[in-house]
Amino acid sequence: MRIDHRLNPALLGINARQHLFLGAWFNLVHEHSLDSYRVRAMNPLNILRELQRMCEPPADENDCKVVAAEALGILDKHPVIAGFAEH
Question: 63, 55 in Cβ contact below 8 A?
Answer: no
**Bond into 9 cis (ω within 30):** no
Per-residue confidence (pLDDT) for residue 39, from 0 to 100: 47
Tens-place pLDDT, residues 9-62? 888 888 989 988 888 888 777 766 665 544 456 788 888 988 898 888 888 888
Per-residue confidence (pLDDT) for residue 41, from 0 to 100: 67
User: Of 45, 41, 68, whose CA–CA distance to 55 is shortest?
Assistant: 68
User: Of 4, 70, 6, whose CA–CA distance to 40 is shortest?
Assistant: 70
Per-residue confidence (pLDDT) for residue 37, from 0 to 100: 47
Spatial CB neighbours of 78, under 8 Å, sequence gap ≥ 6: 43, 44
